[in-house]
Amino acid sequence: MTSTSEQLILVSLDCPHFAVLSELDYETLIDYCNREDPETWQFLLQAYSEPRSSLENLRKFSPTRFVRDERQCGRAECLVHSQPRVTGLRNLHAGLVEYFNTRKALYLQLAKEYFDLLPFLGARTINGLLSKIAHQHFSIETQHWTLDPFFESWQIAATAMNFRPSTDGDEALGHVRHALKYLVLGVADMKQLMEDIWSLKYLVGRFPEESGLERTDRKQVFANASRAAWEKRMSGFEHFGVNVRSVKRPSPESLEWQDEDEEMSTPWEAHREV
């Protein structure tokens, strides 16, 4: 149904179901909807929005575009009941929480891989265009993660999911659809981060002479300092999740590592001169 070479679309429905479609499948669906052929498009929506396969497609294909559709999937339980059923909401909520936690674990794994690679990278590689997003995110950025635009969609999604789907109702469905939207908005940045790490692993593994494979004391010092700075700016992230509505942002006074004097001599600036 889908291809990883094209943009994938998450279609949020007006019920506890959603579909992950290729652009071609989405265009086909819209074409049938425009023909006012409800029997066909409801059949397609039911097929595309099967709960288990939808969550699997969300995890596997990571759609980068979100579309909100006011149609329901056409299943009996969604048509008979005027409000979304609690069972469907619970299942969808649980699936999204699992997806969120998986993404968080993946981010931490990417960070580990980056800092394991950093002692092998020369200044030319880090100062160049290769894996620019990863270097910016892990070695250059100094903002606390709660202020970093990279995590803005994560925080909105986590807040939206921080509810108990214990009753039927449009309000609970609204929370879920809001969470879906912002989970999708964060996918593109994560994909780029993954591609950057893969590029660095390939460079170090296949072209050591290009990456400056030899580990030197100076490179190791830079790598250690970069990791320490990243860990400070990520303080509180380990407790961040759906069960925590928000993380208190630290005051500027508490971020001593971001004061003006230290910004003038960051590990990144020192490494640029290597």
**Annotated domain spans of the chain:** 8-80, 86-272
Alpha-carbon distance 204 to 23, whole Å?
A: 36
Please give the mean pLDDT across all residues of the chain.
79
> Residue 15: pLDDT above 90?
no
Write the burial class of residue 163 (CB in 10 Å: 0-12 exposed, 13-18 middle, 19+ buried).
middle
The strands making up 65-68's β-sheet, listed across from edge to edge, are 18-22, 8-12, 65-68
Kindly state the average pLDDT of the residues 85-107: 89
- Give pairs for 263-268: CB < 8 Å, separation 24+: 263/142, 266/140, 266/142, 266/229, 267/139, 267/222, 267/225, 267/226, 267/229, 268/139, 268/140, 268/226
Q: Per residue in 136-190, pLDDT tens?
A: 899 889 999 999 999 999 999 999 988 877 665 778 888 889 999 999 999 999 9
Q: Contact, 120 vs 212, CB < 8 A?
A: yes
236 sits in the region (left: phi over 0; alpha: psi -120 to 50; else beta) called left
Task: Inform me whether the pLDDT recorded for 267 exceeds 90.
Answer: no
Length of the chain: 274
The amino acid at 2: T
Q: What is the pTM of this model?
A: 0.80
> How does pLDDT run across 189-242, given as a tens digit for each residue?
999 999 999 988 888 876 555 545 556 677 888 889 999 999 999 999 999 987
Residue type, 209: E
Query: Average pLDDT for residues 89-115, to the nearest whole number?
Result: 92
- Residue 261: predicted pLDDT: 34
> Considering the chain, what percentage of its residues have pLDDT values greater than 70?
76
